[in-house]
């Protein structure tokens, strides 16, 4: 290296050695939690073996191959090869091995997202795991400040809202994008930030910043800590949450939109939405700015007591995305989706 300002740094060793500052890996080791970690051919392949060796945990790297042809991958829902650790199609080979491990995990190619597989529940929905992780962390991190808030994107499940209320914690709901959590994770005002696409991070055990970006390895290992400390898998924890707060149905669909319509949708005002009911319930909020920070959401969110939908234009296709959730079940969710499309069409037509 020619410049005196440039030096080599072993990022892998520094990361692996520092993990006990954010996770209780002693509990994982002492409980003998058997872990299967699948890097899906991505960047975490070099990390998992070192984590197992350094912290003496029972961890098997399920697929240590790094193959540019990705021939080991099962095909995703559309027949394409995609390292999507939240897809049951892409994760099919790991799901088939779920009985061999107490916790099995997958990461996408750059390891900023996580997938959690349990023997009793298979691959967890990312929203479900976020709610469980929040509930666990805020009841098992005594050094975190009492005012430490919970960050979620506005298209994440409202199960998180109910968990946050039960915990007595401030919920900070922001637009889509992990960048909105950076300041809060850095200064400790947020203990956790997560998005529905299986990306999240949280503070060290003493309340200091760990990282201000998504960390898929961290969230994957947290599932083993939860199992070791509580004796229940994350999917068993989620079943208990639904028993307390309800069992929401959640889905995302796409609807066609021209470039001009997408531009209008991105700049809608609440006054352009005329409906006062949604799927048989009074509308309680019409949002075009995120309640947590006042930033424009680039679309629209409409809420009732038991349901909501959010509509956002796609940045790459001639469609808009409709995220929706109902605590009244799949039938009510379908009605929310149908009325959401009609409501958005009316708003676009009147713009």
Half-sphere exposure of 207 (CA within 13 A, CB side): 13
Predicted model pTM = 0.95
Q: What does the pLDDT look like over 178-209, one tens digit per residue?
A: 999 999 999 999 999 999 999 999 999 999 99
Residue 154's CATH number: 3.40.120.10
Going by the DSSP 8-state scheme, the letter that residue 179 receives in this structure is G
Same domain? 138 vs 85 = yes
Which pLDDT score is estimated for 33? 99
Same domain? 199 vs 343 = no
The mean pLDDT value for 119-125 works out to 97
Q: What does the pLDDT look like over 236-293, one tens digit per residue?
A: 999 999 999 999 999 999 999 999 999 999 999 999 898 999 999 999 999 999 999 9
The mean pLDDT value for 22-36 works out to 99
N- to C-terminal Cα distance for the chain? Answer: 59
Contacts for 266 with CB less than 8 Å, ≥ 6 apart = 298, 299, 312, 313
Same domain? 229 vs 259 = no
Residue 6 within any structural domain of the chain = no
Which of 215, 244, 273 represents a domain boundary (last residue)?
Answer: 244
Which of 244, 278, 293 represents a domain boundary (last residue)?
Answer: 244
Confidence of residue 72 (pLDDT cuts 50, 70, 90): confident
DSSP letters for 16-66:
HHHGGGTS-HHHHHHHT--EEEE-TTSTTHHHHHHHHHHHT--EEES----
**Domains contained in the chain, number:** 2
Residue 3 within any structural domain of the chain = no
From start to end of 167-267, where are the E strands?
A: 171-174, 190-195, 199-202, 249-256
Residue 179 within any structural domain of the chain = yes
Alpha helices by DSSP H, 231-329: 234-245, 259-266
Which of 244, 279, 300 represents a domain boundary (last residue)?
Answer: 244
Same domain? 229 vs 306 = no
CA dist., res. 298 & res. 300, Å (int):
7
Which pLDDT score is estimated for 347? 86
Which pLDDT score is estimated for 45? 93
Residue 105 within any structural domain of the chain = yes
Cα dist. 185→15, 114, 150, 223 in Å?
18, 19, 10, 20
Residue 137 within any structural domain of the chain = yes
pLDDT, greater one: 351 or 346: 346
Which pLDDT score is estimated for 307? 99
Residue 1 within any structural domain of the chain = no
Same domain? 301 vs 207 = no
Which pLDDT score is estimated for 2? 81
Structure tokens at 79: 């027949």
The mean pLDDT value for 228-232 works out to 99
pLDDT(78) > 90: no
CA dist., res. 138 & res. 145, Å (int):
10
Same domain? 205 vs 297 = no
Residue 260 within any structural domain of the chain = yes
Which pLDDT score is estimated for 193? 99
pLDDT(135) > 80: yes
Please give the residue range of the domain that contains residue 70: 11-244
Residue 257 near residue 341 (C-beta atoms within 8 A): no
Q: In percent, how much of the chain has pLDDT > 90?
A: 88
Identify the bridge partners of residue 249 per DSSP, sorted by sequence position. 326
- What mean pLDDT is reported for the chain? 95
Same domain? 224 vs 137 = yes
The mean pLDDT value for 104-117 works out to 96
Q: What does the pLDDT look like over 311-332, one tens digit per residue?
A: 999 988 899 999 999 999 999 9
Which pLDDT score is estimated for 350? 62
The kind and range of the H/E element at 287 are strand 285-289
Query: φ, ψ for residue 107 (rounded to 5)?
Result: -130, 155
Which pLDDT score is estimated for 79? 86
Same domain? 40 vs 178 = yes
Which pLDDT score is estimated for 351? 55
């Amino acid at each position: 290296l020619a410049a005196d300002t440039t030096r080599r740094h072993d990022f892998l060793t520094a990361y692996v050695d520092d993990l006990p500052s954010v996770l209780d890996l002693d509990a994982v080791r002492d409980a003998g939690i058997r872990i299967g970690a699948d890097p899906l051919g991505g960047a975490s392949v070099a990390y998992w073996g070192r984590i197992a060796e350094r912290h003496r945990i029972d961890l098997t790297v399920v697929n240590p191959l790094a193959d540019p042809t990705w021939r080991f991958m099962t095909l995703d829902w559309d027949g394409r090869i995609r390292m999507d650790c939240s897809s049951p199609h892409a994760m099919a080979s790991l799901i088939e091995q779920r009985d061999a491990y107490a916790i099995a995990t997958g990461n996408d190619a750059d390891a900023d997202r996580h997938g959690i597989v349990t023997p009793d529940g298979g691959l967890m929905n990312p929203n479900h795991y976020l709610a469980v992780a929040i509930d666990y962390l805020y009841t098992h991190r005594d050094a975190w400040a009492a005012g430490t808030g919970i960050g979620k994107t506005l298209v994440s499940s409202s199960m998180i809202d109910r968990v946050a209320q039960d915990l007595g914690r401030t919920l900070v709901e922001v637009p889509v994008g992990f960048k909105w959590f950076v300041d809060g994770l850095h200064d400790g005002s947020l203990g956790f930030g997560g998005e529905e696409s299986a990306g999240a991070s949280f503070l060290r055990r003493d309340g200091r910043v760990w990282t201000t970006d998504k960390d898929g390895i961290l969230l994957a290992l947290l599932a083993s800590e939860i199992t070791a400390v509580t004796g229940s898998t994350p999917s068993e924890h989620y079943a208990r949450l639904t028993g307390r707060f309800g069992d929401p149905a959640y889905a995302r669909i796409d609807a066609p939109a021209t470039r001009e319509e997408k531009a209008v949708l991105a700049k809608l005002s609440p006054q352009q939405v005329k409906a006062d009911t949604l799927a048989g319930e009074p509308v309680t909020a019409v949002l075009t700015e995120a309640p947590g920070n006042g930033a424009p959401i680039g679309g629209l969110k409409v809420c009732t007591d038991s349901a909501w939908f959010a509509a956002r234009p796609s940045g790459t296709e001639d469609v808009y995305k409709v995220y929706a959730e109902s605590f009244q079940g799949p039938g009510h969710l379908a009605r929310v989706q149908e009325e959401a499309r009609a409501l958005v069409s009316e708003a676009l037509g009147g713009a």
